[in-house]
Chains A and B, each alone.
Chain A
């Protein structure tokens, strides 16, 4: 399975990308920073300056409906914030 699961495309990450040259990805739980760095460099043809990772825990979510309470759980995931070398950029919209 791939190290990088999907990029994080949100207003928050877009703003960081433009001002700080940082891009966010959801990555495999067991991937380490070295692997993430290599994967990003290979996929987007850029140089990575730093990788910060964090693991988000899943949460219990319950909803009240007519036919009783539905309860479930959101996924937990590992998130990596990748800082690129100066002057480089990743274009998530290149195929539009």
Chain B
């Protein structure tokens, strides 16, 4: 076994691996012996097949297998031992690699191309300035949020006279052409109809101002301009709904007005759980503002991550062995066509540069990820998911459970670990460079993001 490295230039090198007969002989013989015991061949009892025959049939495959195994093991060991920082994976050299004759050759020589990661330096100091956007929460947003809370917990209240936005509850009875009730017509009881959803203005105006007990005669298909909707309203099948026409008599049983919830302790309790400390409207607004600000911090961080990444990638120039990387991409992703590689190559290079910079930062600052970090991130993710369903105060043990569930999945776990690392790197960048804090409104921030 003999591994040598030859540098072509700073970024490219070849690694030659020589495997000699006595390197593999023992293991190959061992495997053959093992095979002999198991192999099943007609004409022989199991385990009684002559060694020569087994060797003839399986020897080449076993040899190739063993040599291959030895090769990959030793190559990766070599890469680790020599602390070589390579990009991608070693690829067989297409020009120098001699063809291998498994029948005759006893010593094998493999030549690989490798791409070396360039040595880069990431200097983070206060001389570098990065913009950090603080999104301002204005009153309008808080108002909107308050409104959404009050309407979410609002309810329908019976009122006297129907207004523009009210709903009516009553019974439908089908009428014939002369305006008499049809004996076998369609009827529906306790139907709720919304006045502001009526498309026909004349009918809508007629409905406004009605009281409980009043009768409204109209063509529901004309009013709502949708047979499908009317079908649901009258609780009949789609086929029947297609056929209905003519007027219906609607006897109003009650008029319902939607009333938004009042800003009082009841509402606060409904919104934030029974043991909330929010007692007054000011506190409620403050709390909402805080929540919004909390959401925006994530957006700010996200923007900062993008910006700092772009800036660092641009600033820290490095040369990469593009030729080799293209070859590697092609070799590892069979389904990619040349065109796809060409178009996506720039994005890939950017990712790679960022990855290298990130690795460097991790090394320079001795950032380490341990189990607790990963768990913390998983818990945050769990909490975020729960809060999306409107559950804000999820008990810790639930979160723990859910986080454990997330980490149980191998792929998720890798993602979470990656995220934990990214977060730490970002924090490091944030603490090392000078931050230029800028206040900005939400709309403008969105515009920035779009660019």
Chain A residues in the interface with B (C-beta under 8 A) = 11, 14, 17-18, 89, 91-93, 96
Contact = CB atoms under 8 A, between A and B. Distances in A.
Contacts of A92: 50, 52
Given A92-B52, A93-B52, A93-B53, 15 more contacts: A11-B45, A11-B48, A14-B48, A14-B50, A17-B50, A18-B50, A18-B51, A89-B52, A91-B52, A91-B56, A92-B50, A93-B50, A93-B56, A96-B53, A96-B56
- For the complex of A and B, the 5 pairs showing the least CB-CB separation, nearest first, are A14-B50, A91-B52, A93-B53, A11-B48, A18-B51
Contacts of A93: 50, 52-53, 56
Nearest to A15: B48
Interface string B39-51: 0000001001011
Nearest to B52: A91
A3 B23 CA distance: 43
A68 B16 CA distance: 79
18 contacts: A11-B45, A11-B48, A14-B48, A14-B50, A17-B50, A18-B50, A18-B51, A89-B52, A91-B52, A91-B56, A92-B50, A92-B52, A93-B50, A93-B52, A93-B53, A93-B56, A96-B53, A96-B56
Contacts of B50: 14, 17-18, 92-93
Q: Is the interface of A mostly helix, strand, loop or mixed?
A: loop
A93 B54 CA distance: 10
Contacts of B53: 93, 96
Nearest to B44: A11
A21 to B, nearest CB: 12
A91 B59 CA distance: 14
A14 B49 CA distance: 8
A90 B413 CA distance: 58
Nearest to A93: B53
B40 to A, nearest CB: 15
Contacts of B45: 11
Contacts of A91: 52, 56
A11 B53 CA distance: 13
Contacts of B48: 11, 14
Contacts of A11: 45, 48
A44 to B, nearest CB: 13
B397 to A, nearest CB: 66
Contacts of B51: 18
Nearest to A96: B56
A89 B52 CA distance: 9
Interface string B371-406: 000000000000000000000000000000000000
A92 B51 CA distance: 11
A11 B43 CA distance: 11
A92 B45 CA distance: 18
Interface string B43-85: 0010010111100100000000000000000000000000000
Nearest to B48: A11
Nearest to A14: B50
A88 to B, nearest CB: 13
A25 to B, nearest CB: 16
* Interface-central residue, B48, B50, B53, by most chain A CB under 10 Å: B50
A93 B43 CA distance: 13
A8 B345 CA distance: 67
Contacts of A17: 50
A17 B51 CA distance: 10
Interface in B63-111: none
A18 B48 CA distance: 11
A18 B29 CA distance: 14
Nearest to A17: B50
A23 B5 CA distance: 49
Interface in B232-272: none
A58 to B, nearest CB: 27
Contacts of A89: 52
A92 B49 CA distance: 13
A18 B50 CA distance: 8
Nearest to B49: A14
A92 B53 CA distance: 9
A93 to B, nearest CB: 5
A51 to B, nearest CB: 22
B41 to A, nearest CB: 11
A89 B50 CA distance: 12
B58 to A, nearest CB: 13
